[in-house]
Amino acid sequence: MAHHRLDGTRIKKKKKDTSVTDLLGVSIVALIAVFFYDDKKAISKTGGSVAYIFFLILIMIAAISVVVLLMNSRKNKLKLKETGGISQNISLDWGQNFQHTLLLFVIPIIILIMPIFTGQTSAFDDFLQAILSLILIGYLKKIYWGKIF
Amino acid sequence: MSILSTILLVVLIISGIIILIKNRKIATEAEEFVFSTDISWSKSLKHNLIMFFGSAAVLLLPLLSAQKPKIDDVFQAFILFLGIYYLKTLYLQEK
């Protein structure tokens, strides 16, 4: 048998308990769907409330991830103190620079074009969102490369 | 589309093409284009913070003009998140 070692002992398979998380995810989606089901409402309104739920979930994820990050950072600091090492040296080549510069321009362009695909009129918000994403990705480029262009 | 968005779109496309061509010229003229840098813990944390709070801020912006976030705002935030996540896989590869 493939599941036995040479000395006859059984190899334990790594058990992943994905079934619980799957059940939880499906039940949450079902709960949201039941909660927002209303046949008198127009479809656009339902879409809006789904977007609102996504927005709330994203805020929750952001809050949880900040807590996890802070906990991780404390652990990392302790590890750095123990080893005395500070950082890791990496060498970057031209391809990475090209990809970062490409994303720097492509993502604001997609953000500006997006309302055309969803059939909504572009507002002043989209302009602000595009500027914000340009600033954020430019700041990341400054972190890694020391300059934006 | 409003006038501001159109102007920004045109400026982005033209300047993007010019800068990409310029970067490519610099890279092909130099023999070896290698840049070495230190990746510390603080850079990784900054990257993570920008990844999560940047996309949250994109979703929050419509609230300033007293509008509910619409479905296209969700897509926009998702695209920004994916882009920054891709940058993270580009720079911070786990060994």
Per-residue pLDDT of chain B (95 residues; tens, 9 = 90+): 678 888 888 999 999 999 989 888 877 777 677 778 777 777 888 888 898 889 888 888 887 776 666 778 888 888 999 999 999 888 876 54
Over residues A131-140, the mean pLDDT reads 93
**A70 and A128 share a domain?**
no
**A47 and A64 share a domain?**
yes
**A95 and A106 share a domain?**
yes
**A64 and A122 share a domain?**
no
How many domains, in total, are found in chain A? 2
Tens digits of residue pLDDT in A31-80: 776 666 666 666 566 666 677 777 777 777 777 877 777 777 777 666 66
User: Is residue A144 assigned to a domain?
Assistant: yes
**A24 and A82 share a domain?**
yes
Which residue of B1, B46, B59 is in closest CB contact with A143? B46
**A84 and A115 share a domain?**
no
User: Is residue A1 assigned to a domain?
Assistant: no
Q: Which residue has the tokens 């490409």?
A: A102
User: Is residue A76 assigned to a domain?
Assistant: yes
Query: What whole-number distance in Å separates Cα of residue A27 and Cα of residue A29?
Result: 5
Burial class (CB in 10 A: 0-12, 13-18, 19+), B51: buried
Q: Is the minimum CB–CB distance between A144 and chain B shorter than 8 Å?
A: yes
How many percent of chain A have pLDDT more than 90? 17
Domain borders along chain B are 1-36, 37-95
- Give the 3-state secondary structure of residue B81: helix
Query: ipTM score of the complex?
Result: 0.87
Distance from CA of A93 to the nearest CA of B (A): 5
> In chain A, what residues touch B73 (CB-CB under 8 Å)?
51, 55, 125, 129
Tokens of A72: 């991780």
Pairing of strands A87-93, B34-40: antiparallel
Range of the domain at A71: 17-88
How would you write chain A as a 3-class SS string?
A: CCCECCCCCECCCCCCCHHHHHHHHHHHHHHHHHHCCCCCCCHHHHHHHHHHHHHHHHHHHHHHHHHHHHHHHHHHHHHHHHHCCCEEEEEEEHHHHHHHHHHHHHHHHHHHHHHHHCCCCCCHHHHHHHHHHHHHHHHHHHHHHCCCC
**A80 and A104 share a domain?**
no
Q: How far is CA A125 from CA A63, A113, A117, in A?
A: 24, 13, 16
State which amino acid sits at residue B93.
Answer: Q
Query: What whole-number distance in Å separates Cα of residue A125 and Cα of residue B17?
Result: 25
**A23 and A77 share a domain?**
yes
**A147 and A111 share a domain?**
yes
In this structure, are residues A119 and A108 in contact, taking their beta carbons and an 8 Å threshold?
A: no
CB contact under 8 A, A55 and B43: no
**A83 and A110 share a domain?**
no
